[in-house]
Amino acid sequence: MTQRVSPPPPLPRGAWRRLAAAARSPAPACDAVTHSPHTAAAASALDVVRDRAGEKMPPSKSRKIAILGYRSVGKSSLTIQFVEGQFVDSYDPTIENTFTKLITVNGQEYHLQLVDTAGQDEYSIFPQTYSIDINGYILVYSVTSIKSFEVIKVIHGKLLDMVGKVQIPIMLVGNKKDLHMERVISYEEGKALAESWNAAFLESSAKENQTAVDVFKRIILEAEKIDGAASQGKSSCSVM
């Protein structure tokens, strides 16, 4: 016996038009359906990766910095703290050492060559190498030593005699600022001396990595400032 199937009930008025419109509409994207925090975070992270992949970092710049100063003021300790992140307490008179370090300042990578010179005094004669391809000088004294403060003035004078009228960044650094009870040179005295040279000034401690980093970042910025001024001067020149 054949069972008779009843026809489906008629659709309400306008239903066919709604169904046809729905069929023509594009299917929603998968990520539009799922709006969980996890998918949003993943999409954001992907955007960051894409942005970084599309970035073009400027080429690395090479800079050579010389560190000068009287004996036992902490030139080597300051440099080693910056390069290796450790404090070397023992004093071993330096003949001359060269360190290298990569550092990024304001989005620009720098390959630094740091010349840790032998301790100088008022009778020292600077070798000619101290004036060749040097991009900046860090002059270090100890805030616990009047002698080192007086000698650094002599070193500055000899440095100017050696480089002549070439404009090279010079930075004055008062080291061992952590030795409060032994301090004999005030911050104000150091700053006043630097201002008389038209030089940058910082106090530091070779025991503190951040102050060591600040010193070398600052000399880079001072060098860039002079390089920028020189470039502007060249671009503004006109040939008659």
Of 220, 221, 211, 174, nearest to 82 by C-alpha is: 211
Q: Can you read off the two tokens belonging to residue 123? A: 């009778």
More confident residue, 142 or 124: 142
More confident residue, 93 or 40: 93
Q: For position 130, what pLDDT does the model report?
A: 83
Q: For position 28, what pLDDT does the model report?
A: 46
Would you state the torsion angle of the CA atoms of residues 85, 87, 91, 95, taken in this order, to the nearest 10 degrees?
Answer: 10
First to last CA, the chain: 113
Q: Can you read off the two tokens belonging to residue 127? A: 């070798």
CA dist 204 and 173 (Å) reads 7
Q: Would you tell me the crossing angle of helices 187-197 and 146-163 to the nearest 10 degrees?
A: 10
CA dist 90 and 88 (Å) reads 6
Candidate from 25-34, 78-87, 187-196, 214-223 with smallest mean pLDDT: 25-34
Of 85, 100, 90, nearest to 209 by C-alpha is: 85
Q: What is the mean pLDDT of residues 5-24?
A: 54
Buried b (16+ CB within 10 A) or exposed e, 40-73: eeeeeeeeeeeeeeeeeeeeebebbbbbbbbbbb
Q: For position 118, what pLDDT does the model report?
A: 84
Q: For position 14, what pLDDT does the model report?
A: 58
Most confident option among 15-29, 167-181, 226-240: 167-181
Nearest-Å Rg of the Cα atoms of the chain is 33
Q: For 36-65, what is each residue's pLDDT tens digit?
A: 444 444 444 444 444 444 556 789 999 999
